[in-house]
Amino acid sequence: MSETTPVIQIRDLHKSYGALEVIKGVDITAHQGQVVSLIGSSGSGKSTILRCCNLLEDSQQGEILFKGEPVIWRGAGLGRHPADAKQVLRIRTNLSMVFQQFNLWSHMTVLQNVMEAPLTVQGRDRADVEEKARAYLDKVGIGDKCEAWPAQLSGGQQQRAAIARALCMEPQALLFDEPTSALDPELEQEVVRVIKALAEEGRTMLIVTHDMKMAADVSDHVVFLHQGRIEEEGAPQALFGAPKSERLQQFLSATAPA
């Protein structure tokens, strides 16, 4: 991959559920070290794009490239699926996803949760994985919770454990799907601080968020989606400071704090 090759590139993406087309030709690019936030109303297609990017959902048209390598498809339209299972695994391993619901395994300690995928999916050395897992839990501020069970953690702590789990895969990019929307405002700020720190480190991230302040603070590029299309995009200063489209103006007005 050359320095100019994007880590993630989505071209003319279309996604349908039966006759309902929810993504209608979207282009999104994230270069090395770039933070791209996707904003928009519920149902605008933000999370669906993220799931298509990580190949958790099949798209019906368009290209998805990871570090310049296009996903290989078989079939067409609603019958289109990735053709190479090894490629899918490799891409998913390099695009770690953090979900809205924390998805921690309740029967494992926090440390075991963070170690599980690097051990079972990547087959890495246990001692090395444990050292990295403890370091990442320290990084997100819950290094003292290694032996705790998920049920013993607050929502903010559980989400930070999920971020440590994603980091322990040592991915090329992180995908965040509404990482703070299940949390109350105080716990939300714990997670926002971690995401800001990751952005400052220069990690490549795609973030779907309802938090306009976080999007403004951490993003290099913001994409506003409306009804499955990109209505407006650009640098956060331009998008939030001088929105051009009437629809974006309405959206920002509705989401502004009272």
In a domain, 181, yes or no: yes
Cα–Cα distance measured from residue 32 to residue 67, given in angstroms and rounded to the nearest whole number: 9
- CATH number where 51 lies: 3.40.50.300
Question: Looking at residues 40-67, what average pLDDT do you find?
Answer: 95
pLDDT for the residue numbered 220: 96
In a domain, 87, yes or no: yes
Structural domains of the chain, count: 1
pLDDT for the residue numbered 187: 87
Asked if pLDDT for residue 128 goes beyond 80, the answer is yes
In a domain, 111, yes or no: no
In a domain, 135, yes or no: no
Cα–Cα distance measured from residue 117 to residue 109, given in angstroms and rounded to the nearest whole number: 14
H helix or E strand, kind and range, residue 31: none
Question: Looking at residues 34-54, what average pLDDT do you find?
Answer: 95
Could you give the percent of the chain with pLDDT greater than 70? 98
In a domain, 153, yes or no: no
In a domain, 26, yes or no: yes
Asked if pLDDT for residue 2 goes beyond 60, the answer is no
Nearest CA to 216 out of 30, 75, 35 is that of: 35
Q: How deeply is 173 buried, as exposed, middle or buried, from its count of CB atoms within 10 A (0-12, 13-18, 19+)?
A: buried
Check residue 41 and report its DSSP letter.
S
Convert the pLDDT of each residue in 60-88 to its tens digit.
Answer: 999 999 999 999 999 999 999 999 999 99
Check residue 71 and report its DSSP letter.
P
Asked if pLDDT for residue 211 goes beyond 80, the answer is yes
| Residue 76: other Cβ atoms inside 10 A | 9
pLDDT for the residue numbered 258: 55
Asked if pLDDT for residue 9 goes beyond 60, the answer is yes
- The whole domain housing 29 covers 8-101+173-255
Question: Looking at residues 34-43, what average pLDDT do you find?
Answer: 95
pLDDT for the residue numbered 257: 67
Q: Does pTM surpass 0.95?
A: no
In a domain, 230, yes or no: yes
Convert the pLDDT of each residue in 100-126 to its tens digit.
Answer: 888 899 999 999 999 999 999 999 999
Q: Which residue has the higher pLDDT, 222 or 185?
A: 222
Question: Looking at residues 179-205, what average pLDDT do you find?
Answer: 91
Half-sphere exposure in the Cβ direction for 193 (13 Å, CA):
12
In a domain, 66, yes or no: yes
Question: Looking at residues 156-175, what average pLDDT do you find?
Answer: 96
